[in-house]
C-alpha cells in the first residue's frame, strides 16, 4: 500500500517536539527558504506555546532583514540555542542573542554544510581544521 509522504507546512510543524533540533536551509534574502514552514512554526508557537526550547542550526543567513526567515523563530521560549553560519538577515534573532535570551553560536557556513552532508550520509560526525 502506497503511503503519502507529502505534508502541509502545518502538518510538518506539528511533528516538532519540545527540545528538538531543527536544521534549516536557505540562502539569505529569502532565497531557497521554506517560508511557509517557518511561518507555520511561528503561528503554532504563538497560538499554543509549543514547541519550546528548540536548537536551530543553519548554514547561511536566513531571512530578509525584516520579518521572514529566522525572524519567525525569534520568540522567547521557542528557541533555546541557534548555531548559524551568519546572522545578518535576521535582526530579531540577533537582538535575542545580544540580550542573552538564547545561546548563540557562529560556525563557518562550509562546516555546517559539510555537517549536513555527514548527517545525510548517516555518518557519525565531522572533524575540520576550523571547527
CATH code assigned at 39:
3.40.1080.10
Question: How many whole angstroms separate alpha carbon 54 and alpha carbon 78?
Answer: 6
Kindly report, residue by residue over 55-64, the tens digit of the pLDDT.
999 988 888 8
- 98 part of a folded domain: yes
- 129 part of a folded domain: no
- 11 part of a folded domain: no
The residue range of the domain holding 111 is 17-120
Q: Percentage of the chain surpassing pLDDT 90?
A: 62
The alpha carbons of the chain give a radius of gyration, in whole angstroms, of: 15
pLDDT score at 28: 66
Band of residue 1 on the pLDDT scale cut at 50, 70, 90: low
Q: What is the 3-state secondary structure (H, E, C) of 31-82?
A: CCCCHHHHHHHHHHHHHHCCCCCEEEEECCCCCCCCCCHHHHHCCECCEEEE
- 7 part of a folded domain: no
> Which 8-state DSSP code applies to residue 113?
H
pLDDT score at 80: 98
Nearest CA to 21 out of 88, 82, 72 is that of 82
Total domain count, the chain:
1
- 85 part of a folded domain: yes
- 96 part of a folded domain: yes
Name all contacts of 14-17 with Cβ < 8 Å and 24+ positions apart: 14/44, 16/41, 16/51, 16/54, 17/51
> Which 8-state DSSP code applies to residue 105?
E
pLDDT score at 86: 84
The grid coordinates listed for 76 are: 522567547
Query: Under DSSP, is residue 101 helix (H, G, I), strand (E, B) or coil?
Result: coil
- 33 part of a folded domain: yes
Amino acid at each position: 500500500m502506497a503511503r503519502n509522504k507529502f505534508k502541509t507546512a502545518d502538518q510538518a510543524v506539528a511533528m516538532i517536539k519540545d527540545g528538538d533540533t531543527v536544521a534549516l536551509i536557505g540562502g539569505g534574502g529569502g532565497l531557497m527558504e521554506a517560508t511557509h514552514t517557518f511561518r507555520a512554526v511561528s503561528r503554532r508557537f504563538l497560538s499554543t506555546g509549543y514547541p519550546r526550547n528548540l536548537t536551530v542550526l543553519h548554514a547561511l543567513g536566513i531571512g530578509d532583514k525584516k520579518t521572514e526567515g529566522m525572524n519567525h523563530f525569534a520568540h522567547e521560549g521557542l528557541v533555546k540555542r541557534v548555531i548559524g553560519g551568519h546572522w545578518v538577515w535576521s535582526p530579531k534573532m540577533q537582538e535575542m542573542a545580544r540580550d542573552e535570551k538564547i545561546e548563540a553560536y557562529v560556525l563557518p557556513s562550509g562546516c555546517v554544510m559539510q555537517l549536513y552532508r555527514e548527517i545525510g550520509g548517516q555518518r557519525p560526525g565531522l572533524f575540520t581544521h576550523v571547527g
